[in-house]
């Protein structure tokens, strides 16, 4: 089973990773396409009239403004940049971005010379009558060369920019990529934790089923064995003994019937098929009724009951019959295992009503306190006897309190063991 969960968990993680990779690739491609579409836009839209008579340095001023426009442009990563104004006839460089201190990298100059070579023009800076735009777009490197002729072909203006689309996209969208990678990491971690929890829950479910099966078998084994032995020897009993053994059989059958009934109650409550009929329930009156029903047993065992409460009612909105089962289980448990005194308390704590019942019997070990609510929970024989004859009673209590969304716990020490719960108070208009 463990291998199955690992296999499905791995497949699920791979599917999520593939989906993320596709989204990552599509997002990056769109950003690269945007970069390649706009990275040379300032030069193409510079609106420099290269064919006018540019005297008094007007052309140089316009070209320098176009540099500023590019350098402040959103898509300018300045991987490579070069621009110049050259006299076509003499080869004299009128304006050079390198000399102006804004040249960056040799990529732009190399690309400019490459374009000149492809155009069949000799010389590094004199391109004669070449006029046009050459743009190459890629994923890792993109270049754009713009060569213009001014003053009737006597002045040559050149621009060349080289960029790295992928690096530029990563740099400009760093926060987005960090967010995406963080989201993927968190999602993969959640998937892993979820499958681990599913595996643990499955194992716990199987362990609980095994405990339930062993518990039922253990609880039914003794009464069935007693009943079988009695029936097998029935013909050998005289009339007086038959009456005694008839009572034993009835008691054993009642015990089995009671246990099965409690198991059904737990199952119905957990499944939600046991309908909850909520109404105003006075816990003080219900406790008094519970004490009264167990009065004879309390007197027989010479137990002192101390019931601490105010005169006001302690009303909660709950199922009357279910709360009666809770108090009856707590009371029978306290009577069975106390030494001399049972203390019951009811009090208000803010908007909640707290109920507690304490017996002065032997304490429950700390390691067992969280497990006593489990059905058929046992550690040793004395522990089993301590809780109940079948180990089902507190499971019924737990299911009822859970369905009422009540807080409950058990505290045990040298001074006794207290079972307690709290529920919202119900104020009757």
Residue 27 lies in a domain: no
Asked whether residue 163 falls in the same domain as residue 282, the answer is no
Query: Exposed/middle/buried for 55, CB within 10 Å: 0-12, 13-18, 19+?
Result: exposed
Q: Which of 14-18, 90-94, 224-228, 419-423 has the lowest mean pLDDT?
A: 224-228
Residue 416 lies in a domain: yes
Residue 419: per-residue pLDDT: 92
CB 52 within 8 A of CB 93: no
Asked whether residue 156 falls in the same domain as residue 287, the answer is no
Query: In a 3-state reduction of DSSP, which class is residue 412?
Result: strand
Asked whether residue 295 falls in the same domain as residue 418, the answer is yes
Residue 108 confidence (pLDDT) above 60 = no
Residue 216 lies in a domain: no
In the predicted model, what is the mean pLDDT of residues 401-411? 89
Instruction: Report the CATH number that the domain containing residue 132 is assigned in CATH.
Output: 3.30.450
Residue that the structure tokens 């989201």 belong to: 183
45 Cβ contact list (under 8 Å, min separation 6): none
pLDDT tier, 322 (very low <50, low <70, confident <90, very high otherwise):
confident
Most confident of 123-132, 178-187, 231-240: 178-187
DSSP 3-state percent helix, strand, coil across the chain (nearest 5): 55, 20, 30
Q: 172, 203, 231: which is the final residue of a domain?
A: 172
Strand partners, 86: 93, 156
Asked whether residue 165 falls in the same domain as residue 50, the answer is yes
Question: Can you list the positions of beta strands (E) in 137-222?
Answer: 142-150, 155-163
Most confident of 69-78, 213-222, 244-253, 339-348: 339-348
How far apart CA 229 and CA 192 sit, in angstroms, is: 55
Residue 322 lies in a domain: yes
Q: 139, 172, 205: which is the final residue of a domain?
A: 172
Asked whether residue 144 falls in the same domain as residue 280, the answer is no
Enclosing domain of residue 67: 39-172
CA 51 centroid distance within chain? 67
Average pLDDT, the chain: 77
Strand partners, 419: 357, 410
Asked whether residue 411 falls in the same domain as residue 285, the answer is yes
Query: Exposed/middle/buried for 98, CB within 10 Å: 0-12, 13-18, 19+?
Result: middle
Residue 374 lies in a domain: yes
Residue 165 lies in a domain: yes
Q: 157, 172, 187: which is the final residue of a domain?
A: 172
pLDDT tier, 76 (very low <50, low <70, confident <90, very high otherwise):
confident
Residue 49 confidence (pLDDT) above 80 = no
Asked whether residue 400 falls in the same domain as residue 281, the answer is yes
In the predicted model, what is the mean pLDDT of residues 328-334? 86
Residue 76 lies in a domain: yes
Q: Which long-range contacts (CB under 8 A, 24 or more apart) does 6-13 make?
A: 6/195, 8/195, 9/191, 9/192, 9/195, 12/191, 12/195, 13/188, 13/191, 13/192
What is the number of structural domains in the chain? Answer: 2
Q: Which of 256, 259, 267 is nearest to 209 (CA)?
A: 267
Q: Which helix (H) or strand (E) holds 243?
A: helix 239-271
Residues 136-149 pLDDT 10s: 888 988 888 777 77
Residue 386: per-residue pLDDT: 38
pTM here is 0.48
Residue 222 confidence (pLDDT) above 70 = no
Residue 204 lies in a domain: no
The upper half-sphere exposure of residue 241, i.e. CA atoms within 13 Å in the direction of its Cβ, equals 8
Residue 377: per-residue pLDDT: 61
Task: Go through 159-178 and write b for each residue having 16 or more CB atoms within 10 A of its CB, e for each that does not.
Answer: bbbbbbbbebbeeeeeeeee
Residue 237: per-residue pLDDT: 74
In the predicted model, what is the mean pLDDT of residues 350-360? 92
Residue 123: per-residue pLDDT: 43
Residue 74 confidence (pLDDT) above 80 = no
In the predicted model, what is the mean pLDDT of residues 19-43? 88
């Amino acid at each position: 089973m463990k291998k199955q969960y690992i296999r499905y968990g791995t497949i699920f993680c791979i599917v999520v990773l593939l989906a993320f990779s596709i989204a990552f690739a599509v997002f990056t491609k769109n950003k690269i396409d945007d970069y390649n579409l706009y990275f040379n836009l300032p030069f193409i839209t510079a609106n420099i009239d290269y064919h006018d008579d540019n005297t008094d340095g007007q052309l140089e001023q316009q070209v320098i403004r176009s540099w500023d426009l590019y350098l402040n442009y959103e898509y300018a990563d300045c991987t490579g940049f070069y621009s110049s104004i050259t006299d076509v006839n003499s080869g004299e460089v009128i304006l050079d971005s390198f000399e102006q201190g804004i040249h960056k990298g040799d990529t732009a100059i190399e690309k400019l010379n490459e374009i000149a070579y492809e155009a069949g023009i000799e010389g590094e800076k004199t391109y004669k009558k070449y006029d046009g735009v050459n743009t190459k777009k890629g994923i890792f490197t993109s270049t754009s060369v713009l060569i213009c002729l001014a003053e009737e072909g006597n002045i040559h203006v050149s621009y060349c920019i080289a960029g790295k689309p992928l690096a530029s996209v990563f740099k400009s969208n760093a926060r987005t990529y960090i967010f995406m990678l963080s989201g993927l990491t968190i999602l993969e971690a959640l998937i892993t934790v979820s499958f681990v929890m599913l595996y643990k829950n499955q194992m716990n479910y199987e362990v609980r089923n095994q405990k339930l099966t062993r518990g039922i078998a253990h609880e039914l084994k003794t009464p069935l064995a007693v009943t079988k032995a009695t029936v097998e020897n029935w013909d050998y009993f005289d009339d007086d003994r038959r009456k005694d053994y008839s009572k034993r059989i009835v008691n054993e059958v009642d015990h089995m019937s009671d246990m099965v009934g409690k198991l059904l109650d737990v199952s119905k409550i957990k499944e939600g098929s046991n309908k909850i009929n909520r109404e105003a329930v006075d816990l003080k009156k219900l406790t008094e009724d519970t004490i009264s029903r167990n009065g004879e047993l309390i007197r027989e065992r010479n137990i002192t009951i101390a019931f601490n409460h105010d005169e006001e009612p302690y009303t909660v909105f709950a199922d009357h019959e279910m709360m009666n089962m809770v108090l009856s289980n707590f009371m029978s448990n306290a009577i069975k295992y106390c030494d001399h005194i049972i203390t019951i308390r009811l009090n208000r704590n803010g908007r909640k009503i707290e109920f507690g019942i304490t017996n002065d019997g032997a304490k429950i070990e700390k390691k067992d306190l969280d497990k006593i609510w489990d059905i058929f929970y046992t550690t040793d024989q004395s522990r089993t006897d301590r809780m109940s004859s079948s180990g089902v009673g507190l499971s019924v209590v737990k299911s009822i309190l859970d369905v009422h969304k009540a807080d409950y716990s058990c505290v045990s020490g040298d001074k006794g063991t207290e079972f307690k719960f709290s529920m919202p108070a119900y104020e009757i208009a």
